[in-house]
Chain A
Amino acid sequence: MKATFPHLAHLDIALGVLYPTLGVEIVPPPPISKKTIEMGVKLAPQNACFPLKVTLGNFLEGIERGADTVFMAGGVGPCRFGYYGQVQKIIIEDMGHDVRFILLDHPRYGWRQFLDAIKVMMGGRFSLVRAKRAVTLAWQILRFTEELENYRRSLRCQVEDKATLDTMVEETLDRLRSVEEIRTLANIRDEARANLRDFPRRQREGMIRVGIVGEVYIAQEKRINFNIDRLLGDLGVYVHNSVSTVEYILHTLPFFRSRDKHEAWQLARPYLNRFVGGEGIDSVGSTVRYAQWGFDGVVHLYPFTCMPEVVAKGIMNQVGKDYDLPILHLAIDEHAGEAGLVTRVEAFVDVLERRGKMGRKTLEAIGR
């Protein structure tokens, strides 16, 4: 069995450590490129969401490299993510590839299937001890990749030497790929943290702060969202991203709970108190949280035609009005043009800057 899987930010690093430890041979798909997108777009239904198309491209490129099994997560619910795997499976079969498709669904929809899928993903043998060690390590790695990205996006606007910052983060990410033990990870982590903390920065007075909310894939995958982190950072904006794969997984797992998401759901309550699928509530709640943190603006990223985020979009505008918080909505798909996106983002930052000069109204002033 040679398995491939979809890309999502740095998930491939964690999975690249997890599967080999479990004894599963993997063929990671090449990094998302124009070719990946073209392949996916060509074969996927035209009105499917963009992440379906890109991940389909990942699978096809993985199969090109010799994969015979595809690992994909699924779900049931009022969001189309639930049928990504099903649709992709049919497309790949129609193309004549003899590929095994392993769909990991939420156990809520059948413990039996869930355990079967887990068993295959663990190389056919189910050993709790072995699994626990490997999963813990992979989990820590995933966590740390997100931490690194958080450092990068918050530091970018504060450092002079942006190229070195990029190299430092990229090199650390690369080193994570060969980690086999928790201890090695801890060393790399301590070293990177120290380096990043000591990175020479400028004064951070009067920085514009922007929060990113939105759909889990588009908001994190910078090869798809035109690297909006970097774009904003280069414009001198402090960026925080509320979207995280770690929190997403925690939230989905039984017996666990994402404190971050729980808080967002609580904050969203006055505006939206029922599940609308995907990350709809999280987008609304995180927007409220950014307002309370005193952020200057929010950028909302979602795939074009994403139902939950479109619901959230309408509600977020009310949040923006109530808290006097500008929000930029960006729908992204294969037709999104970089020039238009850059113009909008630049103009948005100008709006925030000019507002900042006039003094942003405090929460008390607007009655909150």
Chain B
Amino acid sequence: MKVFLGVDVGSVTTKFVLIDEQKNILTSCYLKTSGDPILAIKEGLRYIENTAPSGAKIQAVGTTGSARSLAGVVVGADIIKNEITAHAVAAITRVPAVRTVFEIGGQDSKLIIIRDGIVEDFAMNTICAAGTGSFLEHQAVRLNVPIEEFGKLASQARQGVRIAGRCTVFAESDMIHKQQLGFGKPEIAKGLSEALVRNFINNLASGKSIEGPIVFQGGVASNEGIVEAFRDFYRREIEIVVPPEHGVMGAWGAGILASEYAPQESSFQGFSVVNRSFETRSFNCEDCPNSCEVVVLREDGTVKALWGSRCGKWTPQSAQQRSADTETGAAEVYGYGSS
């Protein structure tokens, strides 16, 4: 059976999806990245290996997310795509009539405008975290509410309180002020949801024509309080769809892209990756005043990839050459002597 693997390593969560040739999801998982993407990738691979249908053979792998390059090297990707394309592809596959995609993840949020099944425009916020999942999570901790129950709490509110949502700092002080006035937790939670929605709309959707159906995906889409707030914002005039797969849409998209790309022979490293050891270290390349911080990824001691040099002269080959040429080069690249 021919299957394709999609991997989405984000700032907060890591998603794996295994699909068949008809783009149907066979198995998927949703894990916390917890600041260690390599560990999360290994865990995800182990899960996929255990839950994959018997006889499934991975034909191609696609990676996306902020750690897409790293994941691409570790898993052995055939295609490495940005999150915007991956999310759009999944949304179009899931809801062919989609005209707008809202994606709210851990550290950034995206708005994708789709017309006739093609991406026409997109916007992404990275300047401010007030419209993202981290903001909600942070405020949930302040309210002493588990993030999973935040949405339910918000839906219990009789009314919302208006909380300034322009930036995290303002929102926080405003929220505390409203708490001190005696508003209950459900009202505050609802107010925060509305603030996030306003922030999203002001930051990303200004000047763009938002048409339905809207597909709302990303981790935050599981928060019913936010979904309700979006519906209220559009006075229920625009249809908002939250697909059951909303959490793993990026990975699904990466899988679909991999299946469309379908190489002759996949660069997939196999499930044995989980047994290999990966190590990341960095050094400052002092060849010019830029002093780029070059990040080295090593797999079982051999250099697999280097990132971060502006001039692009650092490749596994050049690093090897350099360490063969000079002893200091070896120390630089491999960290011998220094550690």
Q: Nearest residue in A to B125 (C-beta to C-beta)?
A: A340
Q: How far is the CA of A230 from the CA of B309 in the complex (A)?
A: 14
Across the interface, which residues of A come within 8 angstroms of B118, CB to CB? 351, 354-355, 358
A 297-324 to B, binary, CB cutoff 8 A, 1 in contact else 0: 0000000000000000000010000000
Cβ of B1 < 8 Å from any Cβ of A?
no
Residue in A36, A337, A354 whose CB lies within 8 Å of B126: A337
Residue in B82, B84, B289 whose CB lies within 8 Å of A35: B289
Within 8 A of B (CB), among A86-127: none
Q: How far is the CA of A328 from the CA of B310 in the complex (A)?
A: 23
Query: At the interface, is chain A mostly helix, strand, loop or mixed?
Result: helix
Q: How far is the CA of A36 from the CA of B126 in the complex (A)?
A: 25
| Contact in complex: A317, B120 (CB < 8 Å) | no
Residue in B116, B120, B126 whose CB lies within 8 Å of A340: B126
Cβ of B294 < 8 Å from any Cβ of A?
no
Q: How far in angstroms is the closest Cβ of chain B from A28?
A: 14
Within 8 A of B (CB), among A2-45: 30-31, 33-36
Within 8 A of B (CB), among A235-288: none
| Contact in complex: A351, B122 (CB < 8 Å) | yes
Q: How far is the CA of A167 from the CA of B268 in the complex (A)?
A: 34
Across the interface, which residues of A come within 8 angstroms of B182, CB to CB? none
| Contact in complex: A34, B291 (CB < 8 Å) | yes
B 270-310 to A, binary, CB cutoff 8 A, 1 in contact else 0: 00000000000000000011110000000000000000001
Binds B, one of A152-160, A186-194, A341-349: A341-349
| Contact in complex: A343, B289 (CB < 8 Å) | no
Cβ of B223 < 8 Å from any Cβ of A?
no
Query: Chain B interface residue count: which class?
Result: 20 to 34
| Contact in complex: A343, B124 (CB < 8 Å) | yes
Known contacts being A317-B207, A343-B83, A350-B84, is A33 close to B124, with CB within 8 Å? no
Residue in A36, A326, A342 whose CB lies within 8 Å of B120: A326
Across the interface, which residues of B come within 8 angstroms of A340, CB to CB? 108, 124, 126
Residue in B116, B122, B126, B207 whose CB lies within 8 Å of A347: B122
| Contact in complex: B289, A347 (CB < 8 Å) | no
Q: How far is the CA of A326 from the CA of B123 in the complex (A)?
A: 13
Known contacts being A30-B289, A317-B207, is A351 close to B120, with CB within 8 Å? yes
Cβ of A339 < 8 Å from any Cβ of B?
yes
Across the interface, which residues of B come within 8 angstroms of A35, CB to CB? 289, 291
Cβ of A227 < 8 Å from any Cβ of B?
yes
Residue in A33, A344, A358 whose CB lies within 8 Å of B290: A33
Q: How far in angstroms is the closest Cβ of chain B from A334?
A: 13
Q: How far is the CA of A344 from the CA of B127 in the complex (A)?
A: 13
Q: Nearest residue in B to A327 (C-beta to C-beta)?
A: B121
Q: How far in angstroms is the closest Cβ of chain B from A118?
A: 32
Q: How far in angstroms is the closest Cβ of chain A from B67?
A: 10
| Contact in complex: B81, A350 (CB < 8 Å) | yes
Across the interface, which residues of A come within 8 angstroms of B108, CB to CB? 340
Across the interface, which residues of B come within 8 angstroms of A348, CB to CB? 122
Q: How far is the CA of A317 from the CA of B208 in the complex (A)?
A: 10
Q: How far is the CA of A34 from the CA of B310 in the complex (A)?
A: 11
Q: How far is the CA of A250 from the CA of B118 in the complex (A)?
A: 42
Across the interface, which residues of B come within 8 angstroms of A223, CB to CB? 310
Across the interface, which residues of B come within 8 angstroms of A342, CB to CB? 82
B 75-112 to A, binary, CB cutoff 8 A, 1 in contact else 0: 00000011111000000000000000000000010000
Q: Nearest residue in B to A304 (C-beta to C-beta)?
A: B127
A 344-368 to B, binary, CB cutoff 8 A, 1 in contact else 0: 1011101100110010000000000
| Contact in complex: B289, A33 (CB < 8 Å) | yes
| Contact in complex: A350, B120 (CB < 8 Å) | no
| Contact in complex: B82, A343 (CB < 8 Å) | yes
Q: How far is the CA of A343 from the CA of B82 in the complex (A)?
A: 6
Cβ of B201 < 8 Å from any Cβ of A?
no
Q: How far is the CA of A351 from the CA of B66 in the complex (A)?
A: 19
Across the interface, which residues of B come within 8 angstroms of A31, CB to CB? 288-289
Q: How far in angstroms is the closest Cβ of chain A from B305?
A: 16
Q: How far is the CA of A348 from the CA of B122 in the complex (A)?
A: 8
| Contact in complex: B207, A343 (CB < 8 Å) | no
B 308-322 to A, binary, CB cutoff 8 A, 1 in contact else 0: 001010000000000
Across the interface, which residues of A come within 8 angstroms of B122, CB to CB? 347-348, 351
Q: How far in angstroms is the closest Cβ of chain A from B125?
A: 9
Q: How far is the CA of A344 from the CA of B121 in the complex (A)?
A: 11
Across the interface, which residues of B come within 8 angstroms of A350, CB to CB? 81-82, 84-85, 119
Across the interface, which residues of A come within 8 angstroms of B116, CB to CB? 358
Q: Nearest residue in B to A342 (C-beta to C-beta)?
A: B82
Q: How far is the CA of A343 from the CA of B289 in the complex (A)?
A: 26
| Contact in complex: A351, B126 (CB < 8 Å) | no
Known contacts being A227-B310, A337-B126, A339-B66, is A346 close to B290, with CB within 8 Å? no
Across the interface, which residues of A come within 8 angstroms of B81, CB to CB? 346, 350
Apart from A340-B126, A343-B83: 6 A-B pairs, beta carbons within 8 A: A31-B288, A33-B288, A33-B291, A34-B289, A343-B82, A355-B118
* A-B CB contact pairs (8 Å), 6 listed: A34-B290, A340-B108, A343-B84, A346-B81, A351-B121, A355-B118
Hey, which bits of chain A sit against chain B, CB under 8 A?
30-31, 33-36, 223, 227, 230, 317, 326, 337, 339-340, 342-344, 346-348, 350-351, 354-355, 358
Hey, which bits of chain B sit against chain A, CB under 8 A?
66, 81-85, 108, 116, 118-122, 124, 126, 207, 288-291, 310, 312
In the complex, the 5 A-B pairs of residues with the closest C-beta atoms, listed nearest first: A347-B84, A33-B289, A346-B82, A350-B85, A340-B126
